[in-house]
Structure 1
Amino acid sequence: MIPSAFDYTAPSTVDEAVRALVDAGEDAKVLAGGQSLLPVLRMRLAAPTTLVDLGKIAELRGVTEDGDALVIGAMTTHYEVQRDALVREHAELLAKATDTVADPQVRHRGTFGGSIAHADPAGDLPAPALALDAEMVIASPGGRRTVPAAEFFQDLFTTALAPDEILVAVRVPKYTGWHAHYEKFNRVAQAWSTVAVAVAVRTDGSSIAEARVALTNMGSTPVRATAVEQALVGGDASAEAVRAAAQHAAEGTNPPADGNADVEYRQELARVLTGRAVSAAVG
């Protein structure tokens, strides 16, 4: 199919991009890497009047340190996140989750911020962002604001972003020395997650001192598995203890039923994959 006609603008600053969104009204769309938006346009599932392309805004690219946090520009590609030394040292979970995104072609074009803002419940980056208590830096006509991941993801493909706002960057606290793993189950290579589990743990000798666990595609938004975290903290890292904690993974979830899996299957997958992910993280 051919997309509907639209106006196109490629601003060079964030302020110009916000002004373009304000001028275009609610029917405008932001173009980042285009890996989610372009197929939707081709199928005419969306018909924006204006596309605001962020590709020329240098401020939105790169990974930097800011005290005890990393700041990842929204237009930083998956490929760049994968290979960034700061990410691998201080936020290993993000690097491991990004390794599973689609294929090399998509990772070279798709953007970290685009995936977060798209808020697909089967996407591989929202759950790690939630697990790591990331914060979203948002530019709006009134200035900039910061929204924690727990409040940013609101519903299916729905975030705290208003129509005239742009995700500028993601702030991720440093988890230096933590162990991490992203365990993903999909039916075919490069497909969306049927279920996936994001885990980051800090060990103290043979015990687990802190744990952060979040689930992909177990609800309309990423889900924090707090019952698993509570069961893990203070316990030893033995296989038996990890398996027992993982049995809490499906608590409080509302997974979808579709052609890939029904509710009960996804709940069991969550328990099994959580055990695998924690075990892999603690070695």
Structure 2
Amino acid sequence: MQVPAQFEYQRATGVDHAVALLSRHGAEARVVAGGHSLIPMMKLRLAQPEVLVDINGLHELTGIRVESSRENGRWLRIGAMTRHAELLESELAGEHFEVLHEAERVIADPLVRNRGTVGGSVCQADPSEDLSAVFTALRAIAVIRGGDGDRTVPMREFFVGPYQTAVGPAEVLVELRVPVRPGCGSAHLKVDRRAGDWAVASVACTVWLDGDDVAEVGIGLTAVGAPNFSAPEAEDHLRGRPATSEAIVEAGRIAAAHCRPVADQRGPADYKLHLASELTVRALHRAVDRARG
């Protein structure tokens, strides 16, 4: 039987209370929400926190909404405690970014999606996690709260290494903000060994068109060794160009050329590189079609 090491349990009553508890206990404390990543690691004793801070009751960290202001523009705001199932069912999220629904449909199974949280997924920073690539492609911004208040971090700076993020030991991820602009299309494609499994490879793409030209683009890749889940060289190739098939195929080649996949039980490295290129091309085509349509 796998049993975690002994730990103390604290239930936070608010975000500031959670931050205070984390500050009090230091590096030995961990936040628990859905628990689908942390609890199995604790059972294997790969993680042995002395204190768990439960944030499941923090309804201020839930919700999906669009807000706009003259100064900051329009943003889709997703609370860190939003469950995967809530994001999948959100008409508002799907209306603006189909990539969110396409990714959520292939994440694990209904039991996991009903309990697991969006914030927990990105904070785990697992190299095979789908939403990390999705929010990278969406050029989202993470809002993090600590003892000095809120700070914002672009998702491309949020991931600092495998299983490591910019969230400090006495901080909590509050929400993810995605810019809402016209001319946008997005898509997500995934290859896995069986339904609900970790990806062999997956790609998320977002394209913003200005006429026939690519005004801005985001490409996120999972499980193929893409630095920070992103493909900036491929994005640079597309930005400012007409969204032609030739440009998209070359972007797929460039994206794969900067990946460093590792051979494992899910497949050899050369197969993963092929998937990185092919899925990028297909997702970009779909995203461009949606931006035009």
TM-score (norm 1): 0.92
How many Å separate the matches in 2 of 1:62 and 1:134?
16
User: Secondary structure at the residue paired with 1:25?
Assistant: helix
Do structure 1's residue 218 and structure 2's residue 224 form an aligned pair?
yes
Deviation at 1:175, TM superposition (A): 4.2
Q: Give 2:242's aligned amino acid.
A: G
How many Å separate the matches in 1 of 2:96 and 2:90?
10
Query: Where does 1:238-277 land on structure 2 (aligned, <5 Å)?
Result: 238=245, 240-277=246-283
Deviation at 1:254, TM superposition (A): 2.2
Q: Is the 8 A contact 1:208 1:237 kept in 2?
A: no
Deviation at 1:206, TM superposition (A): 5.8
Q: Is the 8 A contact 2:183 2:209 kept in 1?
A: no
Structure number having the greater helix percentage: 2
Instruction: State the percentage of identical aligned residues.
Output: 41
Alignment correspondent of 1:115: 121
Question: Which residues of structure 2 form unaligned runs of 5+?
Answer: 69-73
What is the total number of aligned residue pairs between the two structures?
A: 282
Query: Where does 1:167-206 land on structure 2 (aligned, <5 Å)?
Result: 167-203=173-209
Alignment CA distance shift 1:86-1:175 (3 Å): farther
Alignment CA distance shift 1:26-1:241 (3 Å): closer
Deviation at 1:270, TM superposition (A): 0.5
Q: Give 1:65's aligned amino acid.
A: V
User: Secondary structure at the residue paired with 1:102?
Assistant: coil
Alignment correspondent of 2:242: 235
Q: Which residue of the other structure, out of 69, 77, 82, is the alignment partner of 2:83?
A: 77
C-alpha root-mean-square deviation of aligned residues, in Å? Answer: 1.9
Query: Where does 1:88-167 land on structure 2 (aligned, <5 Å)?
Result: 88-167=94-173
User: Secondary structure at the residue paired with 1:247?
Assistant: helix
Deviation at 1:17, TM superposition (A): 0.5
How many Å separate the matches in 2 of 1:205 and 1:176?
11
TM-score (norm 2): 0.89
Alignment correspondent of 1:58: 59
Q: Is the 8 A contact 2:188 2:205 kept in 1?
A: yes
